[in-house]
Amino acid sequence: MSQKETSPSAQRRRALYPLFTILSGGLILLLLLAGLRSPLAYAAPTATTRYVSGSGGSDVANACSNSASPCATIQHAVNQSAAGDEIRVAQGTYTETIGIGVTLTLKGGYEAAGWTRDIAANPTIIDANGANASVVNITPGINVFIEGFTIQGANNTGDNGGGFLINDATVVISATVIQNNVTSGGGGGGVWYEGNNVNVSVVNSSLLNNSANGGGGS
């Protein structure tokens, strides 16, 4: 009986089948590996908690991210912050004005020893000390949550907003006392907000003894 002869083309096809199987398996493996890597490649950055204590803190070469080595000023902590960070501020009086240009959370009312929080027991004051500026100036396009402070001491002669000047941002001010701020060059001794996309909520807070030559002493 004669042996059946296999054509060269059939031999080539059979030779390709194992190769195709190997290539397919390799492709599937590559796709699986790519799938495993993709969550890492697109992971959202982790928010950082930063710490400020006017008593014992330092701004020198300090990113404020270690609760045992806090920064000394709120503005320095703001400058270190990326979007979504939280800044915790220990009790005390901070003689400064603050500019915020990044989405963040700013909380007062902490004690620096263990960073437990009690707003009433740990008063946290931002005092402009008569500076010709707003105590807190918030720039456009960001979201800011501020809680647990006393905001005071502005003597703003050149613009609107003694306690807060908020421009085209979304801001929540909670459990905060805004007091003894003056705006002689415009309106809003306590809080002034402006812009087409501004959204401001003041909750569980007090506005006391703020004055303005323009509209809105509070």
* Mean pLDDT value across residues 186-199: 93
CA dihedral 159, 163, 169, 172 (to 10 degrees): -160
Q: How much is the pTM? A: 0.80
Sorted by where each begins, the domain ranges of the chain are 1-43, 49-212
Number of H helices, E strands in the chain: 2, 18
pLDDT at 212 (0 to 100): 93
Which residue from 31, 179, 29 is spatially nearest to 191, judged by alpha carbons?
A: 179
DSSP at 3: P
Q: How many CA atoms lie within 13 A of 76 on its CB side?
A: 20
Which residue from 108, 2, 102 is spatially nearest to 52, judged by alpha carbons?
A: 108
pLDDT at 56 (0 to 100): 92
pLDDT at 187 (0 to 100): 84
* Mean pLDDT value across residues 62-80: 99
